Structure 1
Amino acid sequence: MNNIHDQRIRVGIDAKWYFDGPPSGHVVVKNLVDEIIKNNDGRFELYLFITDKFKQQASLHFPIYVKLVFLPGIPNMLSNLFLVPVMTFIYGIDVLLFQNFGSAWPALALKIAYIHDVLFLDHPEYYTPGEVTYFKQMIRFAAKADKIITISNSEKQRMLEHNVLSSNNIDVVYHGINEKFKPLSSYQPDAIEALEDKYKLPQKYLLYVGRVNIRKNLVTLVRAFALLKQHNIKLVIAGKNTGAYPQLDSFIADNGLAGDIIFTGHVPEDDLYLLYARATVFCFPSYAEGFGLPPLEAMQCGVPVVVSNRTAMPEVCGTAALYADPDSAENMAGKIELLLADADLYQMKAKQGIAQARKFSWKKAANEILTLITEAYAGRKNYPKAETQPRL
């Protein structure tokens, strides 16, 4: 028999969110998978688990040397618990990277759970009872993983406090930023004008990008915005308002702010890059984040940011952001006003933001994951020889 180190590692990746899925999960999976494929140096044989409704799209999209495993479109938890383990055995996969939900099934493959955050453990008030019950199953099965990858030291600490897994089995890999986010000076005037016409953008606007729910704390942002009338600035909220945040709608209506706030609804990726770059200040008032990618995307566009001072925000944004108390509209308005009123501070924070954003890339994240996979695979004691697993 050949030694396992003479063979390529068969890596299975749960990529069901590559073409569609939760907005933040889709961004992460798409960028990581693309970079893992680009940076595969021959050590790995890649298998992507894809929902079968994207069979034709995936077959045309991915290189021929990437193996595609198609699964029926059932909920992610059920798929990962039952279907993925079976396919892992059938294809003789050595290392399996799950999204959120791992599997309790005993398996020959080394199991790595990529868990974005466990915020619900400390902040159940921001989730529905059904969501909390659902996510608790994620923790239950995470305890069966050989390793967990999470996205910030803040989240690792939360997992340790809740005894999800031991410290040496939890690794932190920061998110990256898509290279398509770039400063406004990179765009042609006609492209800028077209975007302005499409979304009826004002000359100056504060921008928020993300979900519209209670955890994102948009009521405080709108309250802060209402205190900045003298600056003749509007607020653009790039996110679908589903009506699930009635406090926000009520405050806007009761205070006559509807004419000053633009809800864009869903923004296509190609528009989003320029929407960021065209903004005056980016605001992210969230109560709790496992990472918080939007502020970094704004920074890469050269747009200064004001973010809340909670959870992972200081870890991710460093000294480049201005930090606000998410419970105080007055404090948040004051931080925004500093940028609007002080041109020197504005330029300094724009430059610091670009420098901070350079520390994060999807290529770096992908390479760190591949290194973790290699080390975990090599270090696993009594790992069964590859020839004992079925090979198709």
Structure 2
Amino acid sequence: MRIGFDGRLAMGQARGMGRFLRSLIAGREQELIGLCAPGERDEQFRLEAGGFQAYPLWEQFSLPALTRKLGLDVLICPFNTAPLRLPAGVRLVLVVHDLIFLDEAADGGQAVSWYQRAGRLYRRAVVPRVIERADHIIAVSEHTEQSIRERFEIRPGRIRVIPNTLSADWYESPGATAQRRPYVLTVSGEAPHKNLAAGLQAFARCNQPGRPGCHELKVAGVSPRHHARFQELARHFGIGGLVEFLPRVEEAELMRLYREASVFLFPSLSEGFGIPVLEAMASGTPVVTSQCTSLPEVCGSAAMYFNPRSVEDMAGALHSALTDEALRQEMSRLGLEQARKYHPALVAGPIQAFWGDLNEE
């Protein structure tokens, strides 16, 4: 059986969806065929390139053409979307990370750039149709699986949950209390559903320059072209000197940032899984996060939760975590226990079951 996968978003140091693909195909990188655009390279994959560069055109036209040319029996599309048409007889495996783009309430229909608006419209047009036709659907959380079942008619056996995981080194040497420094870390983005503006406002209510016990806030994940806008917002809230927007950081540096932070703040309105909260828990960092979508599933009883649409509630939860050392130590202990549920050695079970079922068909 010849199996191919869309590898374009998993090249190099991947996060999010790309990292999920790498976990799914671990140990099979040279058996499977990765499909990409001309000029793209990754020595870990066995790649076949061709077609357009622009992703939507490549996905809808070049990907089916490569599938036909290579005589694939199965195509794995791990990034929510897939070609609307494939050659006859090709089975489609679709990985769905979230349905946020279908939820107007998650971002109020807003987007911060034309690229994000175009991407949301593309996913809205494509994803419902490919969910309907996919032979196998993988959801990254029970929340995402439930969201799919509520919106679409899914026959039994078509959908399974394989959660995100982290590489094993995330679970080694979590940050000790003595290592902690007086800053709050958030790993966010500029998209409206990440709710960063509310996070800045809540942080400002807990921390003002010169106040006893004042912390800094380090923000990773926001595109540099949006730093100035959020920095101006921080100045408006009176915390401009306390907030640092970090450039793109390598994974080793990100791991250090987690392990030295006093608290991790995650104000998102909607997540399909929420990899940053898992990274924080695996680092032994207390998590203060939203009480919505997949986050209670991933964090369990380890996190302190708040209503993400209430700045006051968010600020109260953050203040409690920052001012109670005993609470932070207990949250750290519970977080480490919760994170182990997503250790790669455990997630390997449902991954192996997926490959076993696929090969038996």
TM-score by shorter chain over 0.5: yes
Cα shift readout 1:267-321 (whole Å, capped 9, x = no counterpart): 1222111111111100100000010000110111111100100111111111111
Q: Distance in 1 between matches of 2:47 and 2:19?
A: 20
Shift of 1:238: 0.9
Q: Distance in 2 between matches of 1:142 and 1:127?
A: 24
The partner residue of 2:199 within 216, 221, 236 is 221
CA contact (8 A) 1:225 1:333 kept: yes
CA contact (8 A) 1:36 1:367 kept: no
Cα shift readout 1:307-357 (whole Å, capped 9, x = no counterpart): 100111111111111111111222122212222222222111101111111
1:107 partnered with 2:88: yes
1:343 partnered with 2:325: yes
Q: Distance in 2 between matches of 1:20 and 1:255?
A: 38
Which blocks of at least 5 consecutive residues in structure 2 are unaligned? 112-116
Q: Percent identity, please.
A: 29
Shift of 1:241: 4.4
Instruction: Give the alignment of 1:261-300 within 5 angstroms.
Output: 261-300=243-282
Cα shift readout 1:118-167 (whole Å, capped 9, x = no counterpart): 11212362554433321121222232211111111111221122216445
User: Residue type matched to 1:51 in 2?
Assistant: A
CA contact (8 A) 1:77 1:101 kept: no
CA contact (8 A) 2:278 2:299 kept: yes
Shift of 1:73: 5.3
CA contact (8 A) 1:32 1:362 kept: no
Q: Distance in 2 between matches of 1:310 and 1:246?
A: 29
Q: Distance in 1 between matches of 2:181 and 2:339?
A: 26
Instruction: Give the alignment of 1:253-332 within 5 angstroms.
Output: 253-332=235-314
User: Residue type matched to 1:134 in 2?
Assistant: Y
The equivalent residue for 2:5 is: 13
The partner residue of 1:125 within 73, 98, 108 is 108
CA contact (8 A) 2:175 2:259 kept: no
The partner residue of 2:67 within 88, 112, 125 is 88
Question: Alpha carbons of 1:349 and 1:214: their partners in 2 closer, same or farther (altered >3 Å)?
Answer: same
CA-based RMSD: 2.9
**SS of equivalent to 2:122:** helix
Q: Distance in 2 between matches of 1:49 and 1:181?
A: 29
The equivalent residue for 2:149 is: 160
The equivalent residue for 2:114 is: none
The partner residue of 2:33 within 47, 58, 71 is 47
User: Residue type matched to 1:133 in 2?
Assistant: L
Question: Alpha carbons of 1:183 and 1:351: their partners in 2 closer, same or farther (altered >3 Å)?
Answer: farther
Question: Alpha carbons of 1:74 and 1:31: their partners in 2 closer, same or farther (altered >3 Å)?
Answer: same
Please tell me whether Structure 1 or Structure 2 has the larger radius of gyration of its CA atoms: 1
CA contact (8 A) 2:232 2:240 kept: no
Q: Distance in 1 between matches of 2:59 and 2:174?
A: 45
CA contact (8 A) 2:188 2:196 kept: no
Which blocks of at least 5 consecutive residues in structure 1 are unaligned? 1-8, 193-201, 380-392
Cα shift readout 1:84-114 (whole Å, capped 9, x = no counterpart): 2333333332322113222322432221111
| Larger relative contact order, structure 1 or 2 (CA cutoff 8 Å, min sep 6) | 1
The partner residue of 2:77 within 98, 101, 105 is 98
Question: Alpha carbons of 1:23 and 1:72: their partners in 2 closer, same or farther (altered >3 Å)?
Answer: farther
